[in-house]
């Protein structure tokens, strides 16, 4: 049985967009131009919330640095975007799959088949936090374009009760939907305005959510030393494309030819950071791994440690 209907017509995400009133009469080219015009608003929305987004990055990095986890939780499109971002962290940054997790109302089947009715159960969101033993070292990011999804609200309230840090990501202003439980650690409002197709939040709201999650997870991984310069030096070498990327990073950063880079990468166990440290500091693989551990996984710090340890007294 569906939950009792609530009039959400006042929400920014539910309103009709005056710029698309003639949507069903537009040519294909006019449709593309209109989408392009409206999607430009996603960049402005991110810029407007730059400070809350930066605080979310710091919270995520702090949680992961102390052995905690980053959870995304949502329903429908919001849930799918969270799962997508979480699933891309292990291959990009060689993280444990448990470190960043996406939770969607309805579980894995909801990724392929709509199960939006399940978003009305706040108790299921709370249960998802209990099932994963969310605690005071974790960060939970609740994603709901319209802000009212009970599943997400229930999860954030339960997460806060368990001592976790919380982020509320919504595309409606705070005066329309206050944060769950009255407060969260970061309240992130990405205001892109009414959708071209009224209420279809997989459009601008989905786009701006994907942008924000890209920034959040990548920013946190940069803080954790998963990046050197602008290279993904913790890449997981699991296929030919990623092997090629790893070889090119070693070749470019170590100033080697391709054959030399491939040999060095092989000797490092396919670990780019290990390979670079072996080359730069003139150490073997076990020593390089030891310095990386001592440096908290930060390649620059590990280089300093290795050079200090191997330089003449």
Active site residues: 88, 119
**Strand pairing partners for 141?**
72, 167
Structure tokens at 211: 């942008």
Q: Are strands 139-143 and 100-104 parallel, antiparallel or unpaired?
A: unpaired
Nearest to 171 by CA among 140, 145, 153: 145
């Amino acid at each position: 049985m569906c939950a009792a209907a609530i009039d959400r017509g006042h929400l920014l995400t539910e309103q009709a967009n005056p710029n698309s009133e003639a949507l069903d009469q537009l040519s294909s080219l006019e449709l593309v131009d209109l989408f392009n015009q409206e999607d430009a608003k996603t960049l402005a929305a991110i810029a407007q919330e730059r400070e809350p987004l930066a605080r979310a990055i710091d919270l995520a990095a702090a949680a992961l640095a102390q052995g905690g986890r980053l959870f995304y939780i949502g329903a429908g499109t919001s849930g799918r975007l969270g799962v997508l971002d979480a699933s891309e962290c292990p291959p990009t940054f060689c993280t444990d799959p448990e470190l960043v997790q996406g939770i969607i109302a309805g579980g894995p089947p909801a990724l392929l088949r709509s199960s939006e009715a399940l978003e009305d159960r706040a108790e299921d969101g709370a249960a998802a936090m209990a099932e994963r033993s969310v605690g005071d070292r974790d960060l939970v990011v609740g994603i709901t374009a319209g802000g009212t999804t009970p599943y997400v609200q229930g999860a954030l309230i339960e997460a806060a009760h368990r001592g976790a840090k919380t982020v509320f990501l919504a595309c409606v202003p705070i005066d329309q939907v206050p944060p769950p439980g009255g407060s969260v650690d970061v309240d992130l409002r990405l205001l892109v305005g009414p959708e071209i197709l009224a209420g279809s939040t997989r459009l601008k709201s989905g786009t701006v959510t994907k942008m924000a999650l890209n920034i959040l997870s990548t920013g946190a991984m940069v803080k954790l030393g998963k990046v050197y310069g602008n290279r993904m030096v913790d890449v997981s070498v699991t296929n030919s494309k990623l092997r090629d990327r790893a070889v090119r990073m070693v070749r470019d950063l170590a100033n080697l030819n391709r054959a030399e880079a491939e040999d060095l990468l092989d000797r490092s166990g396919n670990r780019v950071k290990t390979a670079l440290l072996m080359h730069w500091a003139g150490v073997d693989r076990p020593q390089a791994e030891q310095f990386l551990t001592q440096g908290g996984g930060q390649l620059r710090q590990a280089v300093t440690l290795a050079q200090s340890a191997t330089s003449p007294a």
